[in-house]
Amino acid sequence: MNSNDLGRDYYVEFYALVDEILAAYIKVNELPAYVATVLFERSYNIKEEYNKERSEGMSLLEGKEYLKERLIPNFQIERGDVVSDTIIPMPKILLSLGSRIAIYLYNNRQLKYLLPLIEEINRPLLLLCEQSVKFDIELPEYVQAIDLDYALAQRFVATENPLIKRLSTHFILLNSLLRALALEGVIVLEGCHLQEQMLAEIATSLGIPSIAIQQGWPSVMHTMFRRLPYTHFLTWGDAFNSLWGEYNHRPQYIATGYPYPVKAKLSDAISFFLQSPLFISNEDYYKQMIELAVATAERFPDRKIYVREHPEFRLSNDWLSKLRNIPNLKIVTDYSLNDVFACSEIIVSHFSSSLLEGIIHHCIPISFDPTTDSYYWPNLESIGIGYSVKNFTEFFERIAQILSRKDCYVESLSVQQKRFFKDYDKKALNNQIRDINKIAPIHNHNITFRKLNIGCGRNLMKGWLNADLFCGSSETFQMDGSKLFPFADSSFEYIFSEHMFEHLNLLGQQNFMSECYRTLSTNGVLRLAMPDFDFLINLVNNPEEEINKKYLEWSYERFVSKNVSFEVIPSDYPVYVVNNFMRDWGHRFIHNKQSLMQLGKSLGFKNVRVCKIEISEYAELCNCEKHQNEIPDWANNLETMVIEFYKS
């Protein structure tokens, strides 16, 4: 089937006119850009009507007037209708959640995409969730989630006009929330929805940075992706910066990378990514894509052909039945996206973001675009990684070229990867986190004192930033010492930690030491107090020494005996005490002096010194230890070692 059989379509023209009309409307009426996003929703139901009228002879000028009548409300929208001064009181429990970065979640798909960031950003977070977001996961200790209850604001809106009521209700709730919480920043994914854009406008008015994070690539840059109001946009790579920037001039673009894993190739399938028949597609074009997948399976009976449905537009039962009867064709909608990419050598779609996303997965893209006026943007052939084709004949010609010169395309993909993707997986995620922390720095908890007490517990030290994973009071900054610290380079002159390091696994300890080195100033000092592994060995090897015997008896009676239902002879106390010490209280890895000093040196610290408890040549580090308040002083002196690491 050839696209010419269907006649010309006017979809590209339609969206260009829609945007021209809406952009002029919000400019003349001095309305926020998100009003155009809402009015754009009216275009969903008139695209085919417009296409039909133009095909039957309506002129371009008549078409523009036709669209104005259907897009522009027959009532006047004033700025005061959608930007309200009304502030509603927030529940008291919400007021305790301020001084955080907020992440807005539109649905569970966004939660899935942002989960790596939520789990690793390691600073107090507030998730602003639409009612459709459902949690079946355990959130980190530093994360709180709230539902956006628009009913709180509805009673403050007098109008019954549905459009204005929706805009005003959303604005009143979101504006009241942001003003009450004194947020440090607002993060959204991609940023094309009303609430996301409204949050950014409100945040900007309050001097709060707003950050959009790239989740895909729309190719069709319709109104919802234009005039984005964010202060910053974190992209997959530098090539995307100019693509987004062509229609969005406000954000500062920062390439951070693709924060998801990339698997090794598992197969050489040709995979078809189906899309909903919206925007520049329709039911006929959608049907052609399915028929192309069937024809490909017939043309290549020895090759796997995969079909992935759009999550919001599934195949009919008739199509499912037909496709499932083709031996080498498999529907892989339930596969993870990474698995589909890993199994694919060539990927085919109309205007899906998967075509560019596949670059990082070493997939050769083909845009099957039977429309008469549109082409995938950016042009895949011009950047040397794939093709855009209009019909079946062109498609199979290009497939033959790709299969005969695979090495050339793989080489081109490798070159373009560096342009489109700065990094991927953990490196890209860390880039995101570091840039977010720079854009939206922590501005509370006395960070200006330049002294960090991490794993503070009850030992809250005046003049220090007291931090702990478990937040016991409003004076404690909540963070995980095993992850990236949410602080800029050279933030602290002193870092102190007492009896926390042994609670981290070996990877977490390496992260901790590396982050301490990064966040210490040039002459900064890290002071660690923790159990000494050699003390435990001495208990085992010399249990009869008076001090060891005293410790074994004391420790057994205090920590072990309550868990033993039979009589243990004293000569076996070392077995029970040492096992308890290694495993109780959440201990994960205990060092001796030599191994700990070597760990610090391997991660950048040049000078290391063993110190006595409470004693340091630096006044700020004297009398910091308080573990002796938890156990007897003599026991603490026996089990605890103190080491200082100097960055200079």
DSSP assignment of 430-448: HHHHHHHHHHS----TTGG
Which pLDDT value is given to residue 223? 97
* Burial call 138-149: b when 16+ CB within 10 Å, e when fewer: eebebbbbeebe
Q: Tokens in use for 443?
A: 């501005």
Task: Return d(Cα 465, Cα 309) in angstroms, integer.
Answer: 50
Which pLDDT value is given to residue 447? 54
**Amino acid letter for position 147:** D
* Burial call 96-112: b when 16+ CB within 10 Å, e when fewer: ebbbbbbbbbbeeebbe
DSSP code for 76? P
Which pLDDT value is given to residue 448? 59
Which pLDDT value is given to residue 648? 82
Contact 323, 274 (CB under 8 A): no
Task: Return d(Cα 477, Cα 103) in angstroms, integer.
Answer: 19
Spell out the residues 6+ positions from residue 565 whose beta carbon is closer than 8 angstroms to its own: none
Which pLDDT value is given to residue 95? 79
> In angstroms, what CA-CA distances link 8 with 16, 20, 563?
16, 22, 81
Q: Name the β-bridge partners of 89.
A: none
Spell out the residues 6+ positions from residue 394 whose beta carbon is closer than 8 angstroms to its own: 387
Burial class (CB in 10 A: 0-12, 13-18, 19+), 617: exposed
Task: Return d(Cα 304, Cα 327) in angstroms, integer.
Answer: 9
Which pLDDT value is given to residue 443? 76
Q: Tokens in use for 140?
A: 């980190």
Tokens 């754009």 belong to which residue? 40
Tokens 């026996």 belong to which residue? 638
Task: Return d(Cα 440, Cα 182) in angstroms, integer.
Answer: 12
**Amino acid letter for position 206:** L
Q: Is 303 helix (H, G, I), strand (E, B) or coil?
A: coil
What value, to the nearest 5°, has the Cα angle with vertex 410 and ends 406 and 412? 115
Which pLDDT value is given to residue 611? 98
Which pLDDT value is given to residue 344? 98
> In angstroms, what CA-CA distances link 157 with 87, 164, 292?
12, 9, 51
Contact 100, 125 (CB under 8 A): yes
Task: Return d(Cα 619, Cα 617) in angstroms, integer.
Answer: 6
DSSP code for 137? S
Which pLDDT value is given to residue 44? 92
Task: Return d(Cα 216, Cα 357) in angstroms, integer.
Answer: 7
Phi, psi of 585 (to 5 degrees): 60, 15
Which pLDDT value is given to residue 1? 35
Q: Where would I find the H helices in 121-269?
A: 151-154, 162-181, 194-205, 238-245
E strand spans, 343-382: 344-349, 364-368
E strand spans, 82-176: 101-105, 125-129, 143-147
**Amino acid letter for position 182:** A
Which pLDDT value is given to residue 449? 66
Q: Tokens in use for 367?
A: 């845009």
What's the per-residue H, E or C state across 302-328? CCCEEEECECCECCCHHHHHHHHCCCC
Q: Tokens in use for 250?
A: 């406000």
* Burial call 47-62: b when 16+ CB within 10 Å, e when fewer: beebbebbeeeeeeee
Residues of the chain with pLDDT under 70: 1-6, 444-449, 472
Q: Tokens in use for 119?
A: 């789990």
Helix (H) or strand (E) holding 646: strand 640-646
Task: Go through the chain and tell me how many residues it has.
Answer: 648
Contact 614, 625 (CB under 8 A): yes
What value, to the nearest 5°, has the Cα angle with vertex 553 and ends 548 and 558? 125
- Reading across the β-sheet that carries 210-213, which strands appear in turn? 143-147, 125-129, 101-105, 185-189, 210-213, 232-235, 252-255
